[in-house]
């Protein structure tokens, strides 16, 4: 039985909203945990450069066209203030202290919500102090948005770190249109119910006029729990709550297709791709994994599956090689530290067991990688392995497909990545099932060039139909009254 309807959460008195308007008057404001820029680590380079990825490019271009403003945290544990404008858009940074970073970022965002929303793959931790800081920081972002947005303007809030901002902002600025997009999965009722502050999070989100999710299942999970727990009425696509209509829907995010296609065709990138194959000893077949080093990504499980394929002779160390890129992430969290430790153990066992002198069976890079280097790797990857236990979308899968202009290459994809709802041409696997992953890889290995090409072209057509610019436009159009 479900819980009976619970009363609507109030804003805590300690967070009594007040804000001082500034002179931004922005028609469109993006609010995200991070600003779209990063401090450069290359000596002598410009201090700040744009964060990589199609999402930042698409949102930046829409802000450029609308005199917009981006509100976020600089991400830097440094006193150096980020610029107030960048590539034609205005930036407003939200300060987060070292203590708040622990409670808000590492704590509530990444040790409570992140695991809970990813099938509770790791046990979520619930601490009241983290929750209080989450409320305070969300109010900080809401006030920054309230101070900057023009009368009747639009505010688009992003992701799980900021789920209370829609309702806080509505209290401060009832005149503005508010959109919210969740980039990660939204869990089923059974898991969401664990959250001690479940009704506050739902109330926070319901402050928006439009709530977008990656896939229809997540949207349905949300609408169902909002009806059951808060007494919202209406359909999965249109909820009525607190006398307002809230649109709910799936807006699967995509990549910058033209940019990827152009990079993949760039002679310098192609030359680098050939060089990579050579430096790997010209193997007949390269398998590739590219992930943030995160326990949700199923990297160990995938490596174990490949390892067993070396063991049973399906793969041959003289001809086949796996490249695994694991981008460092949230390294001070104990779960992430443990994941790195265990992953490196599995990698070293695999090389110890099957590598030959001069030819390791797995090349492992624990580092972030420039976009062009990544493109070069995609170009040489005969089989791409994307096997997360749960993932909102997974853009690596889409980037890989967009690189394969000649229709070669095969994608092994987890059924629990949002991308699987669209990329039906992939070899779909259950990432919890070692034999299932092995079977998926075997099928990819044995697919005829004709079958593989028809699968790849099918996926390319699907992605080309809606790139990240279309995604931005669709969301903003749906947000209009």
Catalytic residues: 183, 391
Number of H helices and E strands in the chain, helices first, is 17, 18
CB of 291 to ligand G6P, least distance (A): 11
Q: Is 126 left (phi over 0), alpha (psi -120 to 50) or beta?
A: beta
Helices (H), 84-209: 98-100, 114-117, 128-148, 165-172, 189-192, 198-205
Q: Tell me the closest approach of the beta carbon of residue 37 to ligand G6P, in angstroms.
A: 13
User: What backbone phi and psi angles, to 5 degrees, belong to 434?
Assistant: -55, -45
Structure tokens at 287: 């398998």
Give the shortest CB-393-to-ligand G6P separation in angstroms. Answer: 9
349-371 b/e (C-beta count within 10 Å ≥ 16 → b): ebbeebbeeeebbbbbeeeeeee
Q: What are phi and psi of 234, to 5 degrees?
A: 100, -170
Helix axes 299-311, 334-354, angle to 10 degrees: 10
Between 183 and 227, name the residue whose CB sits nearer to ligand G6P: 183
Question: Smallest distance from the beta carbon of 101 to ligand G6P, in angstroms?
Answer: 11
- Of 290 and 362, the one with the shorter C-beta distance to ligand G6P is 290
Cα(362)–Cα(382) distance, integer angstroms: 15
Of residues 88 and 328, the one with the C-beta less far from ligand G6P: 328
Give me the residue whose beta carbon is nearest to ligand G6P: 183
User: How many other CB atoms are found less than 10 A from the CB of residue 449?
Assistant: 9
Q: Taking Cα atoms as reference points, which of 93, 39, 100 lies closest to residue 71?
A: 93
Nearer to ligand G6P, 297 or 410 (CB): 297
Interacting residues toward ligand G6P by CB under 6 A = 33-34, 159, 183-184, 329-330
Least gap, CB of 39 to ligand G6P (angstroms): 14
Pairing of strands 26-34, 410-414: unpaired
Q: Which residues contact 124 (CB under 8 A, 6 or more apart)?
A: 111, 112, 113, 115, 116, 194, 195
Q: Are 59 and 70 in contact (CB under 8 A)?
A: yes
CB 109 within 8 A of CB 182: no
Q: Closest distance between ligand G6P and the C-beta of residue 34, in Å? A: 6
Q: DSSP string spanning 418-457?
A: GGGGT-TTSEEE-TT-HHHHHHHHHHHHH--HHHHHHHHH
* Residue among 131 and 160 whose Cβ is closer to ligand G6P: 160
| Shortest spacing between CB 470 and ligand G6P, in angstroms | 20
Token code pair at residue 348:
């070293």
Write down the residue that tokens 């300690």 correspond to: 14
Phi/psi of residue 72, nearest 5 degrees = -175, 180
């Amino acid at each position: 039985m479900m819980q009976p309807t619970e009363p609507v959460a109030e804003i805590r008195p300690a967070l009594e909203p007040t804000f001082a308007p500034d002179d931004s008057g922005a028609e469109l404001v993006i609010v995200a945990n991070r600003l779209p820029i990063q401090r450069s680590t290359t000596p002598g380079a410009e201090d700040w450069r744009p964060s990589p990825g199609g999402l930042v490019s698409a949102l930046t271009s829409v802000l450029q066209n609308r005199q917009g403003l981006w509100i976020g945290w600089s991400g830097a544990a440094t006193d150096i203030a980020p610029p107030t404008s960048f590539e034609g858009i205005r930036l407003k940074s939200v300060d987060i202290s070292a203590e708040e970073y622990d409670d808000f970022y590492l704590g509530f965002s990444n040790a409570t919500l992140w695991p809970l929303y990813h099938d509770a793959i790791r046990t979520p931790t619930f601490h009241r102090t983290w929750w209080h800081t989450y409320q305070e920081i969300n109010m900080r972002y809401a006030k920054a948005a309230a101070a900057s947005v023009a009368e009747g303007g639009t505010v688009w809030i992003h992701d799980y770190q900021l789920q209370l901002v829609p309702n806080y902002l509505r209290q401060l600025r009832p005149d503005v249109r508010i959109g919210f997009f969740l980039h990660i999965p939204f869990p089923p009722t059974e898991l969401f119910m664990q959250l001690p502050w479940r009704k506050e999070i739902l109330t926070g989100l319901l402050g928006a006029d439009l709530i977008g999710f990656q896939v229809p299942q997540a949207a349905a999970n949300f609408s169902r729990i909002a009806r059951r727990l808060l007494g919202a009425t209406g359909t999965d696509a249109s909820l009525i709550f607190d006398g307002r209509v809230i649109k709910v829907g799936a807006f699967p995010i995509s990549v910058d297709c033209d940019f990827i296609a152009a990079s993949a065709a760039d002679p310098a990138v192609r030359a680098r791709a050939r060089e990579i194959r050579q430096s790997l000893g010209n193997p007949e077949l390269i398998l590739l994994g590219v992930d943030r080093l995160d326990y949700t990504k199923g990297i160990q499980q995938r490596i174990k599956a490949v390892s067993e394929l070396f063991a049973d002779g399906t793969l041959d160390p003289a001809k086949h090689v796996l490249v695994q890129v694991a981008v460092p992430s949230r390294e001070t969290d104990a779960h992430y530290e443990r994941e790195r430790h265990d992953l490196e153990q599995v990698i070293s066992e695999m090389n110890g067991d099957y590598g030959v002198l001069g030819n390791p069976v797995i090349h492992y890079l624990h580092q972030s990688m420039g976009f062009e280097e990544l493109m070069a790797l995609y170009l040489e990857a005969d089989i791409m392995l994307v096997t997360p236990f749960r993932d909102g979308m997974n853009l690596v899968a889409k980037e890989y497909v967009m690189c394969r202009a000649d229709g070669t290459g095969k994608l092994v994809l987890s059924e629990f990545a949002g991308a699987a709802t669209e990329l039906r041409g992939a070899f779909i696997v259950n990432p919890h099932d070692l034999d299932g992953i092995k079977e998926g890889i075997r099928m990819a290995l044995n697919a005829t060039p004709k079958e593989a090409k028809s699968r790849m072209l099918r996926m390319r057509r699907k992605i080309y139909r809606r790139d990240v610019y279309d995604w931005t436009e669709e969301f903003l159009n749906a947000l209009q009254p």
